[in-house]
Amino acid sequence: METYSIIFAIFLGGAVLTYFAGKLNSILQDILFLGSVLVPTYLFFSGVSFGSAMPFSLEGISLLWGIDHYSWLFALIVLGLGSLAAVYAIGYMKGKERKGYFYFNFILSVMSMLGIVVSQDLISFFIFWEIMTWSSYLMVIYNGKDIQRVGIKYFVFSAIGAYAMLMGIVIVHSITHTFFIEDMIQAYGHMSLQLQIWIPILFLIAFAVKAAMMPLHVWAPGAYSNAPMAYTSLFSGALSKMGVYGMVLILVTLVSRLPQGIWFREVLAWLGGITAAVGTLWAIKQDDAKKLLAYSSVAQLGYIITGVAIGTELGMLAGLFLAVMHALFKGTLFMAVGAIEKQTGTTNFTEITGLIRKMPWTFLASLMSIIALAGIPPLGGFVGKWMLYESLITSDHYLLVILIFFASTAGFLYCYKFLFGFFLGQEEKEWEHVKEAPATMVVPMILMSVFMFVLGTFPGIILKPINNGLMDLGFVDSYKHLWETSVIFNNWGDHVILQPILYSIIAIFLFFLILVVWKGYKGTRYVTTKDISTSGEVPKEDENLTFSVGFTQPFLRAVAPVMRRQIDKYYTEFAKGLEGLFEFMRRIYTGNAQTYALYVVVFVVIVLLFKDVLF
């Protein structure tokens, strides 16, 4: 299979060329960057066929690259979002510093993620995993801000995950003597119970870190919000899905063969639920859009983890469908925040208001993604949420479904906060000059909104590849049984028929919209947000009526007791303890040769004094 070699050669060569092209010409650099993301994408979807593996050998270790329907689904997320984010990045990075650095890491990230999904052996899997971690780490510290607090935290957690995975790989290799994933799965059934329990745990730790699952999520809010937004849309949309990708593989191929596997599933599902609830609560509290979306990503990944951990067909469909949806809507939302950041210079809700008339397309894209995020019909998020609830109810997770429901209802608060904070509310003079973002940034957002809309009524478009992937993993075909092109079923035969619902919604909406605006619309005039009823008084031009500080105060007061505890604090305490230990070590290793000489003398004296006791 030549295609794989060509694809990865273009990625690697493109990354290097793009980096150096910046020295020559900025436009050439942009073109090279786009080319080195889009050309491999095209080659992948046109040239790579299922089931065709590429075995090769490196330093005596035989490796295997190939693709099945399951990994194709994730390749679709990575390359689809990667291409759109690349187009967006051209507009976003215009006039910014260190473009080469950004493009280089961007291409490497896309390459490494594609590498992860095509790897069918543990060595290339691990190498691509590390490239992904490194390139995303370099992106997190792109701004040069908070390297200590954010960058190191991300790196430490990634390292914990990577070492856990490495340990797992070594153990597997010591037993099977090959690195093929297929062989690991084969050998797993014959291992001792202890190993059967530890190997999935080691791998799951690595994947849980990337998927930002409680309690390993603390790196996520900082890292997501610190990276440039053009990259964060990929970071949160696709890179976190790699954790889900691995998690599903481990759960389906290994854990499901273990009689005790049910406990893995239950613990994971509950951790996912708790992640969703806690992430949502913290998202509500944030005043910075990047932070809000970052916590919201953590929460959304919680739903996905819960779905795949349940492990029924419906749960799997729900989890993977939500994964696709999350890539779409969170990608769009981070892009929207990037657009706003570029046009206004800030992303703080307490500073910006009333952008709706200045940035209408960004608003439209945000609105669509927020509706999808909230899971409200008729957009795609609803299909995923519906399947998730139904899978929880039909698989006897009664309390978990309440927790998930709480998270997703509370999610409306931050959804509204996002839209209101940026686009609605008082229009202020300070932001009068703001213009819509350039077309390269708006078009990808609008495209993704269209996908979300279409998937809301015709989820079968994505459920089909998901179903194929699940069949590759050993699930039975669920077409006509759990889903059709625009009908979704649960295990008890209850269903939602999406098409008539969409048409009814549109009909009702248009009828009443026309009823309100049709007659005499020409006679109406637009009035500013200062021209409002405030108990008969007319507010003056300079009067501040903006409401954004303490926006969700009433709700936060109600849940205050829950939010007093913070896992991050415990980690910080732990880190401080370690620092104390290192400080003590530093006192011993002074770096002074005479002190060391003293140590030697003391040691010899002690040995001589107690030689009878010791030897």
Site for other proteins in 370-389 (CB under 8 A): 374-377, 382, 385-386, 389
- Least spacing, CB of residue 438 vs other proteins, in Å: 22
Cβ partners under 8 Å of residue 552, min gap 6: 284, 285, 413, 414, 417
User: Using CB under 8 A, which residues numbered 424 to 443 contact other proteins?
Assistant: 424-427
Per-residue interface string for the shown chain with other proteins, residues 508-547, x marking contact by CB under 8 A? xxx-xx-xxx--xx-xxxxxxxxxxxxx---------xxx
Which residue lies nearer to other proteins by CB, 151 or 377? 377
DSSP string for 68-97: -HHHHHHHHHHHHHHHHHHHHHHHHTTT-S
Rule CB under 8 A: say whether 446 interacts with other proteins. no
User: Using CB under 8 A, which residues numbered 344 to 363 contact other proteins?
Assistant: 354, 356-357
Element spanning 503, H or E: helix 498-517
User: Using CB under 8 A, which residues numbered 260 to 279 contact other proteins?
Assistant: none
- Least spacing, CB of residue 404 vs other proteins, in Å: 10
Classify burial at 481, counting beta carbons within 10 Å of its beta carbon; exposed 0-12, middle 13-18, buried 19 or more: middle
List phi, psi (to 5°) of 563.
-90, 0
- Least spacing, CB of residue 67 vs other proteins, in Å: 35
- Least spacing, CB of residue 494 vs other proteins, in Å: 4
List phi, psi (to 5°) of 521.
-65, -35
- Contact at 8 Å (CB) between 278 and 337? no
Q: Among 26, 256, 348, 490, which residue interacts with other proteins (rule: CB under 8 A)?
A: 490
What does the block give as tokens for 403? 């927790």
Point out which residues pair with 288 in neighbouring strands.
348
- Contact at 8 Å (CB) between 411 and 280? yes
- Least spacing, CB of residue 556 vs other proteins, in Å: 9
Which residue lies nearer to other proteins by CB, 247 or 415? 415
What does the block give as tokens for 500? 């008539």
- Least spacing, CB of residue 314 vs other proteins, in Å: 12
- Least spacing, CB of residue 170 vs other proteins, in Å: 44
Which residue lies nearer to other proteins by CB, 532 or 601? 532
Rule CB under 8 A: say whether 401 interacts with other proteins. yes
User: Using CB under 8 A, which residues numbered 403 to 422 contact other proteins?
Assistant: 405-406, 409-410, 412-413, 415-417, 419-420
- Least spacing, CB of residue 216 vs other proteins, in Å: 27
User: Minimal CA–CA distance to 421: which of 505, 547, 585, 514?
Assistant: 547
Rule CB under 8 A: say whether 555 interacts with other proteins. yes
- Region near other proteins per CB under 8 A, out of 25-33, 153-161, 239-247, 490-498: 490-498
User: Using CB under 8 A, which residues numbered 123 to 182 contact other proteins?
Assistant: none
Residue labelled with tokens 């405030």: 534
Rule CB under 8 A: say whether 563 interacts with other proteins. no
What does the block give as tokens for 242? 């790699």
- Contact at 8 Å (CB) between 421 and 551? yes
| Inter-helix orientation angle 313-344/439-457, to 10° | 160
Rule CB under 8 A: say whether 602 interacts with other proteins. no
Which residue lies nearer to other proteins by CB, 1 or 376? 376
> By rule CB under 8 A, what count of residues binds other proteins?
79
User: Using CB under 8 A, which residues numbered 2 to 31 contact other proteins?
Assistant: none
469: left (phi over 0), alpha (psi -120 to 50) or beta: alpha
Exposure of 369 in the CB half-sphere (CA atoms within 13 A): 34
Integer Cα distance of 404 and 401 in angstroms: 5
List phi, psi (to 5°) of 56.
-155, 170
Which residue lies nearer to other proteins by CB, 399 or 578? 399
Which residue lies nearer to other proteins by CB, 320 or 502? 502
Which residue lies nearer to other proteins by CB, 60 or 523? 523
DSSP-derived secondary structure letter, 477: P
- Least spacing, CB of residue 459 vs other proteins, in Å: 13
User: Minimal CA–CA distance to 448: which of 357, 367, 347?
Assistant: 367
- Least spacing, CB of residue 471 vs other proteins, in Å: 26
